[in-house]
Amino acid sequence: MRIDFSSPSLEVARQLIGASLFVDGVGGTIVETEAYDQSDPASHTYAGHTARNAAMFGPPGRAYVYRSYGIHWCLNFVCEPAGHGAGVLIRALEPTAGLDRMRARRGLDAARLLCSGPGRLGQALAITHALNGLRLDRKPFRVVAPRDDAEVAVQSGVRIGISKSRELPWRFVLAGSPFVSRPMPAAVAPAADRGAPRARR
DNA sequence: TGTATGATCGCCT
DNA sequence: GGCGATCATACAG
């Protein structure tokens, strides 16, 4: 099955978990996404069309790249409905290809830290403004859906690093993946489990 | 293990 | 002028 970008961002965000993303052959399995749309006060497109967010109002299936905190480049996939400013932020990958190039770009060895966050991912995949608005089905991008028979355990929860619309459960992660930017909070920790050794960040 | 801070750009919703 | 869809580093305890 292909990824269908002519769907609402919420659906695309879920579909993308377990898919693969490569930029110029460097990338891996998508393990964390977040959905945004124009009705959402946390979205860049909430206030309407600007020079920065123009790609989000363009055709779906393209990249929207923005500068975060003046430092990092972050990558979104533009979704349907076209012209409505909806998209999916790619927040984390499990690296599978081009690890050496990621390590060189990041100045790190630990695979777990190469792409576990939107800014880190941008640096590891050499995302820049030059990729803004480009089609995701053409070079240098390659997006591959999970196999049809693949069982992908997707977990949803609240988004990270925003101050508005905190309640919306529009974050999706691959359940149990150590490559997410932050673990999904446990719903309720059973008493018997508390005190057991926990995985470190 | 947690809290604070600097870097530095685009937009003010 | 102030604040973000962030991250690395410096501290306190």
Residue with tokens 């269908």: A4
DSSP A142: E
Protein residue closest to B9, using CA and C1': A70
* Maximum Cα interatomic distance, chain A, rounded to a whole number of Å: 53
Q: What per-residue confidence (pLDDT) applies to A188?
A: 56
Nucleic strand C near CB of residue A50 (< 7 Å): no
Q: What per-residue confidence (pLDDT) applies to A150?
A: 85
β-pair type (A72-78, A87-97) = antiparallel
φ/ψ (deg, to 5) at A13: -60, -40
CA dist., res. A129 & res. A73, Å (int): 7
Radius of gyration of chain A (CA): 16
Q: What per-residue confidence (pLDDT) applies to A154?
A: 97
Q: What per-residue confidence (pLDDT) applies to A98?
A: 98
Start-end of H helices in A80-143? 99-106, 118-124
Nucleic strand C near CB of residue A162 (< 7 Å): yes
Q: What per-residue confidence (pLDDT) applies to A100?
A: 97
Q: What per-residue confidence (pLDDT) applies to A187?
A: 63
Nucleic strand C near CB of residue A132 (< 7 Å): no
- Three-class DSSP category at A129: helix
Closest to A26 measured CA to CA, from A117, A104, A108: A104
The tokens for A193 are 């489990």
Closest to A51 measured CA to CA, from A38, A67, A36, A31: A67
Q: What per-residue confidence (pLDDT) applies to A190?
A: 52
Taking the CA of residue A138 and the C1' sugar atom of nucleotide B3, their distance in angstroms comes to 44
Q: What per-residue confidence (pLDDT) applies to A7?
A: 92
- Give pLDDT < 50 ranges for chain A: 191-198, 200-201
